[in-house]
Amino acid sequence: MRVGIVVPHIFMQDKILPNVIFAPANLAISLAENLEVQGQEVTLFSPGRVTTKVKNVIADLSYFEKELKLRQDDYISLLRKHPFTFVTLARQVQSELIAKALQTANDCKLDILHFYTNEEDTALPFSRFCTKPIVFTHHDPFNFLVKYKNVFPKYKAYNWLSVSYAQRKSMPLDTNWIGNIYHGIPEKMYKPVYEPKEDYLAYIGRIITSKGVHLAIEALKKYNSSYGKRLKLKIAGKHYGDHQKDQYWQKEILPELENPMIEYVGFLKTVKEKQKFFGNAKALIMPSLFEEPFGIVMIEALACATPIIGLNSGSIAEIIKPKVNGLLIPKIMSGETRKFNAAKTIEALAEAIKYIGGVDRRKCRTDFEQRFTAKRMAAEHLNIYRRLTKE
């Protein structure tokens, strides 16, 4: 089968990927390469060149890069200084890439197209002109941004794949879901660590309010004070302290780093860095307050045999099997208005830290191997493609 996987997001290029958080990039590459291992012919469409073993068709970035040169900027600095200009230029590139993918399919060089990532809203109104089957995957909640929630319901009859059942809640009930496929990563990407050398909790991801990093900090402090422990919390990821509108880092997190038991280790770019970070942790803590559509860091932790402590937010409840690969904590609500009770939720998280050592790390790795490998992810996609093309 000739499969076209389209990742229009402007971050999808080697020049940008090492410096941003963009999990769909590695997922798309893993999907494409594992489909080829399983005997399919795959073309990966991306704005810029990416390191991959499959055929890689790219857009024309020359005009974008000419503008960068004139401004003496790179992609990320332009995004920070002039986001509207950045998005305008990115949209031009994305539209041309999508047109190229649709034309390739209509020229009978592909059997199926898969638009895979958050910029596929550009492709929606034009996909009806394609003569081959098309399937769409989105990686955020469908109502996360205005541009998404206003347009996706218009196309609910198209072929949609969800990345979790929780993600589906932000689309109409009668959406044409043709499958739910959990993400996967290469089985050998991470090695299990059954006897970690250190003893700390790990948080990794965006350092923003909705990710609940402040809850992790308070839970760690509560645990240490309640049980007389000296457990550390290590925080990895991107903060946005240089953005004037984002005060979360400066007000909620930075002052806490004066506590020797709270450490910010920076943005981890390599698998080697993350292997050490996940593998030596007592547990990964996922205190997300918003409805997580998936959470790739959870399966990276499980691949390292590290259990998870997570709040019952979105897909976290689908990934965590209580007492098998982690502990699931409810977001405690109080009063007639059912307002979120942060204090009691923090107490529950602190209690979970006490008991997380009872989770068998070998079972965490086994769960990863059974549910979250790239090989399994590709096989499930292939079944969907075959159904749509009637092969």
Considering the domain boundaries, does residue 10 fall inside one? Answer: yes
Considering the domain boundaries, does residue 326 fall inside one? Answer: yes
Q: What pLDDT is attached to residue 200?
A: 96
Considering the domain boundaries, does residue 141 fall inside one? Answer: yes
Do 156 and 205 reside in the same domain of the chain? no
Q: Which residues pair with 137 in a beta bridge?
A: 116, 161
Do 120 and 18 reside in the same domain of the chain? yes
Identify the top-confidence range among 67-76, 81-90, 360-369: 360-369
CATH number of the domain encompassing residue 339: 3.40.50.2000
Do 18 and 116 reside in the same domain of the chain? yes
DSSP letter (8 states) at residue 211: G
Do 359 and 382 reside in the same domain of the chain? no
Considering the domain boundaries, does residue 287 fall inside one? Answer: yes
Tell me the residue ranges of DSSP E strands in the chain. 2-6, 41-46, 55-58, 112-116, 134-137, 160-162, 177-180, 200-204, 232-236, 262-266, 283-286, 308-311, 326-329, 333-334, 339-340
Number of domains composing the chain? 2
Do 275 and 136 reside in the same domain of the chain? no
| CA atoms lying within 13 Å on the CB side of residue 41 | 5
Do 6 and 97 reside in the same domain of the chain? yes
Answer yes or no: are the C-beta atoms of 254 and 241 closer than 8 Å. Answer: yes
Q: What pLDDT is attached to residue 117?
A: 81
Considering the domain boundaries, does residue 191 fall inside one? Answer: no
Q: What is the mean pLDDT of residues 248-253?
A: 93
Is 217 buried (19+), middle (13-18) or exposed (0-12) by CB count in 10 A?
A: buried
Residue identified by tokens 């280790």 is 265
pTM of the model: 0.94
Considering the domain boundaries, does residue 192 fall inside one? Answer: no
Do 275 and 163 reside in the same domain of the chain? no
Among candidates 338, 341, 281, which has minimal Cα distance to 311? 341
240 vs 329: which has the higher pLDDT? 329
Residues 6 or more apart whose CB falls under 8 angstroms from that of 274 comprise 190, 204, 268, 300
Do 178 and 266 reside in the same domain of the chain? no
Do 353 and 378 reside in the same domain of the chain? no
Tell me the residue ranges of DSSP E strands in 38-146. 41-46, 55-58, 112-116, 134-137
Name the strand (E) or helix (H) holding 200. Answer: strand 200-204
**Domain residues for 62?**
2-184+373-389
How do residues 112-152 score in pLDDT, each as one tens digit? 999 998 676 889 999 999 999 999 999 999 988 888 889 99
